[in-house]
Structure 1
Amino acid sequence: MLKRIPVDQLGLGMHLQAFCGAWLDHPFWRTKFVLSDPNDLVLIRQSPITEVWIDVSKGLDIAASCTQEIEVAEQIPEPQPTVAQESASFNNELKRAAKICARGKEAVVSMFQEARMGKAIEADAAAPLVEEISNSVLRNPGALISLARLKTADDYTYMHSVAVCALMIALSRKLGLDEPTTREVGMGGLLHDLGKAMIPADILNKPGKLTDAEFAVVKTHPAEGHNLLLAGKGISDIVKDICLHHHEKVDGSGYPKRLNGETMSLFAKMGAVCDVYDAITSNRPYKAGWDPAESIKRMAEWTGHFDPVVFQAFVKSLGIYPVGSLVRLESGKLGVVVEQGEQSLLKPKVKVFFSTRSQAYINPELIDIARSAEKIAGREEASKWGIKDIDRYWAGEKI
């Protein structure tokens, strides 16, 4: 039986079923566990959460003298999807996105650890994270997607999962898929690399080029992840498909099944695009990430890799000049794209900070290309002008 109780009546040995509040308000990435650590009790009581659900059939009950005013139920009311209807400015959403990314990394680290220990993966446990990511992308698509790209080499594997989840959700909406399906492809993005939990760390984090034998080991991760999901609970066929086939290519040269454009599902085609984009724009143990706009350009030139319809939708979901791209304006000023324009993929908002004519930094200024006489002349390489750390111009204190 489930009981809803105040957190001050929560005790060790009780089975915590659910928190009464927002996912970001409580200190754990998942629920449904027996409280055994006194520090966990302290964290719960210090959080904004005031009530929780406990399952007395799986853990201790509260004292009989405390039960008079406790709501008793046979089951927790089914939560309704909390679709974020309001839009949010880029800067405001960055603040929320930073918290989601931090919690998301913790969740993926925990899932990987549990997979290594042989524990079954539960879709229900990861669903609140996917919901938070989905709502953030709905409020402002560029914020979390761009922030999740800024990962260190050490946390790449974990933050990559958060980033691909967000990219899949944005792409799903651009393709016009319904919200339940969008949540499933988001879950697929979050769990697509779960098989890397089974790859030896010295291979996964190797700073140099892999040997053929090492690469062969890495190429087992889709099948390893698929096996983990087969043994999991509540994992949909869509999620399993994305996990197993996100390294396939439409020309049939991918792995593990050498599928092609005719045999790949839509979801696998989506996973292939999102996985590659985040990989090539992120700093890795063996290379620095590419500029986002340069990455879009190069991906467009890779014949036989991506489904053209899916790739076109992907570009529309991010923009031709994604957030973080370094661009040169016709005036000679350099700036970083900080937000997409409302009407045109070619007219984002740009924060200029450098003059190529004087070859000197200038006072940063935000220019909305859609409302300015300025035009973007093209992409630029930061190294060409000796510019470092351009991400601080759009992410600021969040990085």
Structure 2
Amino acid sequence: MAAQQKRDYFRMDMMLPFQAYVVREQSNEKLVSSECEASNLKNTILNLSGGGLNFRSRLEFLTDDMLKMILTIPVAMPRTICLYGKVIKSDRTEQGNFKVRVRFEGITERIRDILISFILKHERDVLISSHLTEVMRFTDVSVLKFAEGTNLPFEIYTVTKKGLRFMFDSGLPYDGLAKEYFNEMGISKVYVKQDDVLYLNRYLDRVRGVKIKPFDREDQISFKEYSFRKLQLHCIGRNILLPRTSISFNLYRMEDYNYKLFLESSASIPLMLDDNIPSMQADFLVGAQEVPAYLHYLKALPLNSSPLVLKEKACIIMHDILDKFGNKETIASAIGAAREIVAQLEKAPDSFYAMLSAGASDFYPYAHSVNVAVLSIRTALALSLPKTDIDALAAGSLLHDIGFGLINDEIINKQGKLSGAEEEVFKTHVIEGVSILQNVDAVPKKAMTAILHHHENMEGSGYPDSLAGQLIPVFGRITAISDAYDLLTTQQPFRKGLSPSQALSAMTKDSSKYDPVILAVFIKLIAQQIK
């Protein structure tokens, strides 16, 4: 009992996708916690522990009501969890809402451990973010300037006795419940990072009814807005959406670097895709909150889609890693995904072409990571490298840009040439990547050479060590070719992507940078795709 009380004591405020409703007495539902699938959960401020949770609701829940609660834990492969609990207290607020306190019932040790591990990770993330406030600049804004019914597109910090403290990620729905929460906590103003001030100003313009201009490549504010929207969505493969399959998530479309809702759907109102989907030349995306529903869609696809499904799952894992640096569990998931891609390409080498058949119209670092892994693995198979080496290369090439997680998104997404200072910051991503992974046991030591040396050039002009020729480890030489090809063929706001044949031609002209034997094998593989 003492251990149970200790677990229940530790709790934190956080924002998670959440839904709750009463389980009727006549229901035959088994009241045991489990992982489940759901969509249309709403970002909600929760106070969560391993033994229960507190939340605010417009709906009235009575003491002793048994609730079914669904929430999504934002880890590498987002986990949606179904929990049951009894309402032990429900108080009406002055605004007519309800503060509900719930004690979990029927919770398994496995689900409890998932919750506690997440809460501890969230606390570490908050402490790290709060510690960084000492070297960051902030702008304060009165909460009176926020409009109900809007989402706040910036991170929120507040003042505590110990200084500024991270509070919520971007995307908080500012409704009557959030307004009540701020009021009760005595928060009259919040603090926004200097990096987010443009998002704040654009949000306040919307609230005031100022007309927002469409995307303009030459306008810094417009580009920042595009970068922010891009981070809130997850790009999916064009060829993964099949005609006459049903989706239960909203589908967004990117056209000329503007993101628009394309199809509206939900678990209660699913939508069947029509026959025109494969012919649409646009990037399709899903909201970060709806990734669990998208994973459910992937599971229902026919077996002949398995290579594409493997790639999509790997993209989801890498999106999480690059967005939040990744913990050991997340990185281990990436290693597992890399090995599954190896097994797929060993079993069916031609599936390589299906996995590369449709590129995006913009640069998404997580998709680039997976593309580089697929290209590198297939090249290594063609070179007949030993199996253990191929597995290590798969891990290293998939994680080759993990250091991006420590670099400002504006540098990663910048249109045009980087300044000298920005280029020096960008170059640190290879060393930072090794630093992030060096104490992760799941990562093979040999994989580090792909991460550290994929920007070395055969004539010695690369970085970080200016190595030349055979002094560059073979994993670095393979990954360098895959990395260059995918970047050349990817469209970005400041330049159009090259066709496969144009990219190979450009690499041939620059052949002094690449290992000639590996480049010849690579060209042969891609040439078969062009045919």
| TM-score over 0.5 (shorter chain) | yes
- 1:58 Cα shift? 5.1
1:159 aligns with 2:367: yes
1:277 aligns with 2:485: yes
Q: In the aligned structure 1, how far is the partner of 2:320 from the partner of 2:370?
A: 13
Determine which structure has the larger strand proportion and give its number. Answer: 2
2:386 to 161, 168, 178: 178
- 1:175 Cα shift? 1.0
Q: In the aligned structure 2, how far is the partner of 1:154 from the partner of 1:54?
A: 43
- 1:143 Cα shift? 4.1
Query: What does residue range 140-159 of structure 1 map to in structure 2 within 5 Å?
Result: 140-144=348-352, 147-148=355-356, 150-152=358-360, 154=362, 156-159=364-367
Q: TM-score, normalised by structure 2?
A: 0.43
Query: What does residue range 153-302 of structure 1 map to in structure 2 within 5 Å?
Result: 154=362, 156-302=364-510
Q: Which amino acid aligns with 1:108?
A: M
Q: Which has the higher contact order (CA 8 A, sep 6+)?
A: 1
Q: In the aligned structure 2, how far is the partner of 1:255 from the partner of 1:272?
A: 11
RMSD of aligned C-alpha atoms?
3.6
1:38 to 51, 70, 77: 70
Q: Which amino acid aligns with 1:295?
A: A
1:126 aligns with 2:158: no
Q: In the aligned structure 2, how far is the partner of 1:255 from the partner of 1:135?
A: 32
Q: Which residue of 1 aligns with 2:33?
A: 11
Q: In the aligned structure 1, how far is the partner of 2:51 from the partner of 2:412?
A: 34
8 Å CA contact retained: 1:281, 1:290: yes
2:312 to 102, 105, 126: 102
Q: Which residue of 1 aligns with 2:137?
A: none
Q: Which amino acid aligns with 1:193?
A: D
Count, aligned residues: 260
Greater Cα shift, 257-266 or 153-162:
153-162
1:278 is paired with a residue whose SS is helix
Q: In the aligned structure 2, how far is the partner of 1:189 from the partner of 1:10?
A: 41
- 1:166 Cα shift? 0.7
- 1:253 Cα shift? 0.4
1:38 is paired with a residue whose SS is strand
Q: In the aligned structure 1, how far is the partner of 2:391 from the partner of 2:377?
A: 7
Query: What does residue range 369-380 of structure 1 map to in structure 2 within 5 Å?
Result: none
CA deviation profile, 1:160-188 (whole Å, cap 9, x unmatched): 10011111110111111122221111111
8 Å CA contact retained: 1:251, 1:304: yes
8 Å CA contact retained: 1:105, 1:159: yes
**Inter-CA distance 279–149: structure 2 relative to 1 (3 Å threshold):** farther
Q: Which residue of 2 aligns with 1:113?
A: 323
Q: In the aligned structure 2, how far is the partner of 1:322 from the partner of 1:196?
A: 32
Q: In the aligned structure 2, how far is the partner of 1:40 from the partner of 1:122?
A: 16
Q: In the aligned structure 1, how far is the partner of 2:354 from the partner of 2:484?
A: 15
1:262 is paired with a residue whose SS is helix
Q: Which amino acid aligns with 2:70?
A: P
Q: Which amino acid aligns with 1:38?
A: I
Q: Which amino acid aligns with 1:170?
A: R
CA deviation profile, 1:103-127 (whole Å, cap 9, x unmatched): 22210011123317xx447653223
2:410 is paired with a residue whose SS is helix
**Inter-CA distance 155–148: structure 2 relative to 1 (3 Å threshold):** farther
Q: In the aligned structure 2, how far is the partner of 1:176 from the partner of 1:170?
A: 10
- 1:134 Cα shift? 1.9
Q: TM-score, normalised by structure 1?
A: 0.57
Q: In the aligned structure 1, how far is the partner of 2:478 from the partner of 2:427?
A: 19
CA deviation profile, 1:18-40 (whole Å, cap 9, x unmatched): x9xxxxx9x9xxxxxx9998345
- 1:259 Cα shift? 0.6
8 Å CA contact retained: 1:145, 1:166: no
Q: In the aligned structure 2, how far is the partner of 1:163 from the partner of 1:10?
A: 40
Q: In the aligned structure 2, how far is the partner of 1:178 from the partner of 1:54?
A: 41
Structure 2: unaligned runs, 5 residues or longer: 1-29, 40-49, 53-68, 74-78, 83-107, 116-301
- 1:252 Cα shift? 0.5
- 1:153 Cα shift? 5.4
CA deviation profile, 1:318-363 (whole Å, cap 9, x unmatched): 24x253x4xxxxxxxxxxx4xxxxxxxxxxxxxxxxxxxxxxxxxx
Q: In the aligned structure 2, how far is the partner of 1:35 from the partner of 1:146?
A: 46
Runs of 4+ in 1 over 6 A off after TM superposition: 34-37
8 Å CA contact retained: 1:293, 1:322: no
2:325 is paired with a residue whose SS is helix
Structure 1: unaligned runs, 5 residues or longer: 1-7, 20-24, 28-33, 46-52, 61-91, 326-336, 338-399
**Inter-CA distance 231–139: structure 2 relative to 1 (3 Å threshold):** same
**Inter-CA distance 253–182: structure 2 relative to 1 (3 Å threshold):** same
Q: In the aligned structure 2, how far is the partner of 1:141 from the partner of 1:285?
A: 33
**Inter-CA distance 229–172: structure 2 relative to 1 (3 Å threshold):** same
Question: Which has the larger Rg?
Answer: 2
8 Å CA contact retained: 1:93, 1:136: no
8 Å CA contact retained: 2:72, 2:81: yes
1:307 aligns with 2:329: no
Query: What does residue range 49-88 of structure 1 map to in structure 2 within 5 Å?
Result: none
Q: In the aligned structure 1, how far is the partner of 2:374 from the partner of 2:339?
A: 10
| Overall identity of the aligned pairs, in % | 26
Q: Which amino acid aligns with 1:278?
A: D
Q: Which amino acid aligns with 1:11?
A: S
8 Å CA contact retained: 1:104, 1:162: yes
Q: Which amino acid aligns with 1:208?
A: G
